[in-house]
Every structure is written in C-alpha cells, then in structure tokens.
Amino acid sequence: MKQCISCGMPMRKKEDFANQDMTKDYCVYCVKEDGSMNTFSEMVDGTAKFLIQTQGLSEEAAREAAVYQLKQLPHWKNAEE
C-alpha cells in the first residue's frame, strides 16, 4: 500500500490518488484543481484547521503540531514555513 508523501494518507483505491493515477505518490487532497501540489503553508493551514476541529487545539498549538506532523513526511522534511 502506498502512502501520500505530502499528507501521509494511506492510498488504497484509484480515487485516492491525484488524477486517479496510481503511479502518483500523492493523494487527491494534496493537489489543486489545476494539478499543482499544495504548498507547505497551505498544508499547514489545512492540517491546523483539522486539528482545531477534531482536537480542540488553539490556533497556535494546532499550527505548531501541524508543522511538526508534516515534517515527518518525506515531501516536507526540509520545508520552510
């Protein structure tokens, strides 16, 4: 099973992959409609929002956690905020 290099989501079926292309290393949620990948700050925003909703973190704590989580993933290892 593949895992998205950008958000870590497990990708099992065609619909999980960007452009429904199973050779891709990233998922449908990590690309924009024009096919370009989300930037690091867009990923931090999205992840932070998710953490605030699901875990009730403060904005600041959520952003810190989001940056930490994303940096565990191969695509963002050396990313700058």
Binding site for Zn ion (CB under 5 A): 4, 6-7, 9, 27, 30
- Choice between 9 and 61, CB closer to Zn ion: 9
Q: What is the nearest approach in angstroms of Zn ion to the Cβ of residue 31?
A: 8
- Choice between 35 and 56, CB closer to Zn ion: 35
- Choice between 7 and 70, CB closer to Zn ion: 7
Please spell the DSSP secondary structure of the chain, one letter per residue: -EE-TTT--EE-SGGGBGGG-TT-SSBGGGB-TTSPBPPHHHHHHHHHHHHHHHH---HHHHHHHHHHHHTTSGGGTT---
